[in-house]
Amino acid sequence: MIPVVVGLGSNIDPERHLAAALRRLRNHPDLGVVATSRIYRSKPVGAPGTPDFLNAAVLVRTDLSPPELRRVLRGIEADLGRIRGPDPNAPRTIDLDLLLHGDLVEDFGGWEVPDPNLARHPHVALPAADVAPELRHPIEGTTLEELARRLDDGSVIPMGVSTNPDPFEAADFDDVRDYAAPVIEGSIRSLLAELGEDPKREGLRRTPLRVAKALEFLTSGYDATVAEVVNDAVFDAEGAEEMVLVKNIEYYSLCEHHLLPFFGKAAVAYLPKGKIIGLSKIARIVDVFARRLQVQERLTNQIADALTEILDPHGVAVVIEGRHLCMMMRGVQKQDSAMVTSAMRGTFKEDARTRSEFLDLVRD
Ligand code: ZN
């Protein structure tokens, strides 16, 4: 596969938009993100008075042609609220530019590969050099590292992988070329130091990266929507009136008070009113809400409300049992006890017989 460098830039709520764009690039089925740059702060070019930009770059491996890849990038931009207007200097939520596509040199009519800005601006060249220092610019003939050094006029500042002054210069970690979420990694590095650890020791060098990736997965529910997950798996079922119950749905979540895991099993039931949903989708809906910072009560209610909204059934019941490490590890709670929460909607709330039928089935 051909090495491809994509540049990212944002000056509207840039931390959030860069992180969201990185997640979408990482999760895209046709792209393999191999490396992510540090984040750089730069002054807007030709637009004094507008907010500073944050810039980054990723090295991806892909089989997509440049036009196909460009369509993917435009799609992510549109998702993140980018509107391409006539003013090229207008503030933007996110810019995704195809900077370099192997050694291809081509004019696609209105845009070119490599992106001319790569050999022009330090805010483009420096992040690119982070992810692919050895890669050669097919027109300039130099490596990206040499190109970045030539353009570097001190105006573009690497954020030391953190918005706070980072006691550990990113340069100390230059052999770690993969930055999943630079701001989170910088924070974890500072946290390790605060705990009295040496973030540079062998076992910890890649820990910030691992933690960032783990957190990205454990909070991936923020990027998922119930509609996406359900994806048309709601079916008409005239006359289906019997209770549908799925139990023993394993879930893992993070308590929002301590950022420690709580986990256990969920049981979800509904009484259809003409519409049913694929059973596997119920577990996926649980994950959408579990993979966020949570409290168990809210998790329970969100699942019940989501099903109510999708199916408009006669009723929905959710019971969740959870073991909270924040309590178990600190000995606040007996080690073997679980917290149980429930949410009843419609018939399950109003009719004691339906409710106890459900509770009996869950207990079995
Ligand atoms: Zn907690």
Q: Give the per-residue pLDDT at 34.
A: 81
Q: Does some domain include residue 232?
A: yes
Alpha-carbon distances of 209 from 11, 184, 186, 197, rounded to whole Å: 25, 9, 9, 16
Give me the mean pLDDT over the 186-192 stretch.
85
Tell me the Ramachandran region of residue 276: left when phi exceeds 0, alpha when psi lies from -120 to 50, beta otherwise.
Answer: beta
Cα 240 to ligand 1 centroid, rounded to whole Å:
40
Q: Does some domain include residue 349?
A: yes
Measure the CA–CA gap between 291 and 299, rounded to whole angstroms.
10
CB 317 within 8 A of CB 358: yes
Measure the CA–CA gap between 358 and 356, rounded to whole angstroms.
5
| Shared domain check, 359 and 272 | yes
Q: Give the per-residue pLDDT at 216.
A: 84
Domain limits at 92?
Answer: 2-179
| Shared domain check, 145 and 19 | yes
Q: Is a pLDDT exceeding 70 seen at residue 176?
A: no
Give me the mean pLDDT over the 50-56 stretch.
88
Q: Does some domain include residue 184?
A: no
Residue 68 sits in a domain whose CATH number is 3.30.70.560
Tally of domains within the chain: 2
For residue range 193-248, list pLDDT tens digits in order.
Answer: 889 999 888 899 888 888 888 888 899 898 888 988 898 889 888 888 899 999 99
If one compares 327 and 172, the residue with the highest pLDDT of the two is: 327
Q: Give the per-residue pLDDT at 88.
A: 66
The closest alpha carbon to 320, from 259, 268, 257, 254, belongs to 268
Q: Does some domain include residue 292?
A: yes
Q: Does some domain include residue 205?
A: no
| Shared domain check, 242 and 114 | no
With b for 16 or more beta-carbon neighbours within 10 A and e for fewer, the 25-60 pattern comes to bbebeebebbbbbbbbbbebeeeeeeeebbbbbbbb
| Shared domain check, 237 and 162 | no
Residues lining ion ligand 1 (Cβ < 5 A) are 255, 257-258, 326
| Shared domain check, 315 and 256 | yes
| Angle between helix 14-27 and 66-79 (nearest 10) | 130
* Amino acid (1-letter code) at residue 268: V
Q: Give the per-residue pLDDT at 145.
A: 94
Cα 258 to ligand 1 centroid, rounded to whole Å:
4
Q: Does some domain include residue 71?
A: yes
Q: Does some domain include residue 213?
A: no
Q: Does some domain include residue 209?
A: no
For residue range 293-344, list pLDDT tens digits in order.
Answer: 999 999 999 999 999 999 999 999 999 999 999 988 887 666 667 899 999 9
Structure tokens at 212: 């960032």
Is the pTM value of this prediction over 0.75?
A: no
Measure the CA–CA gap between 243 and 245, rounded to whole angstroms.
6
| Shared domain check, 241 and 168 | no
Q: Which domain-ending residue is among 116, 151, 179?
A: 179
| Shared domain check, 163 and 254 | no
| Shared domain check, 135 and 36 | yes
Catalytically annotated residues: 255-258, 296, 324, 326
